[in-house]
C-alpha cells in the first residue's frame, strides 16, 4: 500500500508548529517504515526522539544513519553523527573507534589519535584482546614510538597470546639492536625467553646481548641451556667460547673453539674454520698438529678471500678507463657527460663528420634526398652551418655529396646521443 509522503511530511511539519511532537513523531515513523533509506527523515526523527527524551530510540536511528553513510563512503557527513552518539553514550568504545576511523578517512590524524587513545584507555585493562587492534591503528599513526610497541607486546601477553608476544619481544630486541641500545635488547630478549624458554634462537640472541652488556655470567646460563638443546650448533659453540674468554677461562674456551672449527670444517666454511683455529691458538693451544691444521686452513681461507678485481693486474689503465666510461655514458644517456670516441672517426669519403654532429644549430638530415642535399649545401658554406674542414677543391665537394646518402645512417648509429631526432624515427 503506497502512501502520500508529501502529505504526511506536511502534516508532521504543521503538528510541530502547533507543538504536537508525539503526533509528528508518528507521521515520521510512517515515513521511515515506508522508506528506511531516507536519511533526511530518519535524522529528523532521531532529533525529535532526543527532544522528548527517548534516547535509546534516537541512538538506534543515529547509529543506523551513521553506518549507512560510512558504507556509502561519506565519512565526512558521518562524523557529526558519531560525535552526537558519543555524547549520548560516552562509555561506548565501539562508537569512539568508528569515530576515529572516520577521522582517518577524512584526513584528520590528530583527532583520530586522541580518539584512539581514549578507546585504548577504556579497553586495555578490561578487554586487552579488543584493545590490540586499536593500538595497532595508533602505531600506524606513530610508527617510531617505541613505548607503543612495548605496550603492544604487553597486550599480547595480557590476552594470553604467548606466541605473538614472544615474536613481538624478539622484533623489539632487533629494533633495539638497530638503534644501538644493548640494555633494552637484553631486557626484551629476557621477556621473550620467559614466554618461550626452549627456543634456541632466543637463547643464543639473549646470550649475545648479555655479552654486549658485559654480563658473561648471565650469558653462560643461556648458553648452557642452548648447548643442551643442540650440542653441535656452531653459533652456540662460538658464543660459549667467547663467554669463557670473557670469564678469563682460556683453558675452557680452547676445546670449544676446536669443536667449532671441526663443525665449520664439516660444513665447508673455510674462512670461519681458520678464524676458530686462530682463536684456539690464542687461548694457548700449542699442539703442532693444531698449528699445522691452522696453516692449511689459513691458506685455504686465503684462496676463498681472493678477489680478482683487487689484483694489481686487473686495475684498468687510464685510456681503457676513459673509453669504458664513455661507452657506458653513451649507452645510458647522461646529458652532462656525452660520449666521445677514443679516436676521431672519418666518413667513407675520407672527410671529417658533417657540421650537424659538431654544431647543434645544424639539424641532422632527414630521409628525403632533397633535405639531405640542403643540409650538405649548408655545410659547404651556403646554408645554416659553418663549412667543415676538409680537402680543398671541387673534388672534395663532389665526394662530400656522394657520401651524403650513405654516411649519415652509419654515423648516427655510432653517435646516437648526438642525434635524438634520428633515434625517434
The predicted model gives 300-312 an average pLDDT of 78
Assess whether 48 and 76 both reside in one domain: yes
Is the pLDDT higher at 8 or at 131?
131
Residue 381 gets the label, from left (phi > 0), alpha (psi -120 to 50) or beta, of: left
Assess whether 1 and 85 both reside in one domain: yes
The answer to whether residue 133 is domain-embedded is no
The answer to whether residue 302 is domain-embedded is yes
Burial group, residue 46, by CB count within 10 angstroms (0-12, 13-18, 19+): buried
Assess whether 157 and 207 both reside in one domain: yes
Domain boundary among 230, 256, 278: 230
Q: Residue 316: pLDDT band by 50, 70, 90 thresholds?
A: low
Q: How far apart are CA 244 and CA 219, in angstroms?
A: 10
pLDDT for 341 beyond 60? no
The answer to whether residue 105 is domain-embedded is no
DSSP state of 381: I
pLDDT for 390 beyond 60? no
The answer to whether residue 330 is domain-embedded is no
pLDDT at 135: 95
Q: How far apart are CA 141 and CA 117, in angstroms?
A: 12
pLDDT for 335 beyond 80? no
Number of domains in the chain: 4
Q: Which domain holds residue 60?
A: 1-90
The answer to whether residue 114 is domain-embedded is no
Mean pLDDT, the chain, integer: 79
Cβ–Cβ < 8 Å for 400, 409: no
Q: How far apart are CA 404 and CA 389, in angstroms?
A: 16
**What are the pLDDT digits (tens) for 347-362?**
444 444 444 444 343 4
The three cell numbers of residue 199 are: 627456543
The predicted model gives 250-266 an average pLDDT of 92
pLDDT for 49 beyond 70? yes
Position of cell 604467548?
A: 162
Domain boundary among 26, 58, 90: 90
Exposure class string for 284-306: b at 16+ Cβ within 10 A, else e: ebeeeebeebbeebbeebeeeee
Assess whether 32 and 68 both reside in one domain: yes
pLDDT at 402: 44
Assess whether 282 and 250 both reside in one domain: yes
The CATH number given to whatever domain includes residue 293 is 1.25.40
Assess whether 223 and 278 both reside in one domain: no
The predicted model gives 100-123 an average pLDDT of 93
The predicted model gives 202-216 an average pLDDT of 94
The answer to whether residue 78 is domain-embedded is yes
By mean pLDDT, which of 43-57, 61-75, 143-157 is the weakest? Answer: 43-57
Quote the percentage of the chain above a pLDDT of 90.
Answer: 44
The predicted model gives 82-110 an average pLDDT of 92
The answer to whether residue 272 is domain-embedded is yes
By mean pLDDT, which of 44-58, 95-109, 179-193 is the weakest? Answer: 44-58
Is the pLDDT higher at 260 or at 305?
260
The CATH number given to whatever domain includes residue 18 is 1.25.40.10
The predicted model gives 390-396 an average pLDDT of 43
Q: Residue 42: pLDDT band by 50, 70, 90 thresholds?
A: confident
pLDDT at 391: 42
Q: Cβ–Cβ contacts within 10 Å for residue 342, how many?
A: 11
The predicted model gives 12-28 an average pLDDT of 82
Kind and range of the H or E run holding 225? helix 216-229
Assess whether 214 and 254 both reside in one domain: no
Q: What is the 3-state secondary structure (H, E, C) of 14-27?
A: HHHHCCCHHHHHHH
Assess whether 8 and 85 both reside in one domain: yes
Assess whether 217 and 248 both reside in one domain: no
The predicted model gives 51-55 an average pLDDT of 85
The answer to whether residue 128 is domain-embedded is no
Assess whether 304 and 367 both reside in one domain: no
The predicted model gives 23-29 an average pLDDT of 83
pLDDT at 409: 52
Assess whether 81 and 162 both reside in one domain: no
pTM for the full predicted model:
0.64
Domain boundary among 294, 309, 324: 309
The predicted model gives 97-107 an average pLDDT of 93
Quote the percentage of the chain above a pLDDT of 70.
Answer: 76
Q: Residue 46: pLDDT band by 50, 70, 90 thresholds?
A: confident
Q: How far apart are CA 34 and CA 211, in angstroms?
A: 75
Assess whether 218 and 160 both reside in one domain: yes
Burial group, residue 273, by CB count within 10 angstroms (0-12, 13-18, 19+): buried
**256 alpha-carbon distance from chain centroid:** 41
Amino acid at each position: 500500500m503506497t502512501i502520500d509522503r508529501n502529505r504526511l511530511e506536511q502534516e508532521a511539519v504543521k503538528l510541530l508548529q502547533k507543538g504536537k511532537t508525539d503526533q509528528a513523531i508518528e507521521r515520521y515513523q510512517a515515513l521511515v517504515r515506508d522508506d528506511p533509506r531516507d536519511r533526511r527523515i530518519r535524522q529528523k526523527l532521531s532529533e525529535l526522539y532526543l527532544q522528548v527524551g527517548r534516547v535509546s530510540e534516537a541512538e538506534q536511528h543515529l547509529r543506523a544513519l551513521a553506518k549507512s553513510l560510512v558504507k556509502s563512503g561519506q565519512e565526512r557527513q558521518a562524523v557529526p553523527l558519531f560525535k552526537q552518539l558519543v555524547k549520548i553514550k560516552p562509555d561506548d568504545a565501539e562508537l569512539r573507534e568508528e569515530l576515529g576511523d572516520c577521522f582517518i578517512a577524512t584526513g584528520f590524524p590528530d583527532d583520530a589519535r586522541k580518539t584512539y587513545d581514549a578507546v585504548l584507555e577504556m579497553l586495555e585493562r578490561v578487554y586487552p584482546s579488543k584493545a590490540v587492534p586499536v593500538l595497532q591503528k595508533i602505531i600506524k599513526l606513530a610508527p617510531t614510538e617505541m613505548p607503543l610497541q612495548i605496550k603492544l607486546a604487553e597486550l599480547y601477553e595480557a590476552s594470553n597470546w604467548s606466541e605473538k608476544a614472544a615474536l613481538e619481544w624478539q622484533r623489539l630486541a632487533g629494533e633495539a639492536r638497530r638503534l644501538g641500545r644493548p640494555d633494552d635488547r637484553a631486557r626484551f630478549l629476557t621477556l621473550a625467553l620467559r614466554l618461550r624458554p626452549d627456543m634456541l634462537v632466543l637463547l643464543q640472541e639473549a646470550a649475545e646481548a648479555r655479552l654486549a652488556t658485559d654480563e658473561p655470567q648471565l650469558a653462560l646460563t643461556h648458553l648452557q641451556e642452548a648447548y643442551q638443546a643442540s650440542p653441535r650448533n656452531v653459533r652456540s659453540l662460538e658464543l660459549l667460547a667467547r663467554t669463557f674468554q670473557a670469564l678469563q677461562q682460556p683453558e675452557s674456551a680452547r676445546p670449544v673453539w676446536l669443536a667449532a672449527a671441526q663443525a665449520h670444517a664439516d660444513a665447508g666454511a673455510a674462512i670461519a674454520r681458520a678464524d676458530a683455529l686462530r682463536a684456539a691458538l690464542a687461548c694457548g693451544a700449542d699442539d703442532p698438529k693444531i698449528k699445522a691444521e691452522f696453516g692449511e686452513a689459513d691458506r685455504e681461507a686465503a684462496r676463498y678471500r681472493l678477489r680478482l678485481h683487487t689484483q694489481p693486474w686487473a686495475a684498468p689503465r687510464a685510456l681503457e678507463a676513459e673509453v669504458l666510461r664513455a661507452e657506458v655514458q653513451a649507452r645510458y644517456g647522461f646529458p652532462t657527460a656525452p660520449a666521445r670516441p677514443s679516436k676521431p672517426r672519418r666518413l667513407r669519403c675520407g672527410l671529417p663528420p658533417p657540421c650537424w654532429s659538431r654544431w647543434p644549430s645544424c639539424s641532422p638530415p632527414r630521409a628525403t634526398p632533397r633535405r639531405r642535399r640542403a643540409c650538405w649545401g649548408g655545410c659547404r658554406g651556403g646554408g645554416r652551418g659553418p663549412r667543415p674542414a676538409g680537402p680543398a677543391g671541387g673534388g672534395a665537394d663532389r665526394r662530400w655529396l656522394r657520401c651524403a646518402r650513405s654516411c649519415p645512417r652509419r654515423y648516427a648509429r655510432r653517435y646516437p646521443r648526438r642525434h635524438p631526432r634520428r633515434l625517434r624515427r
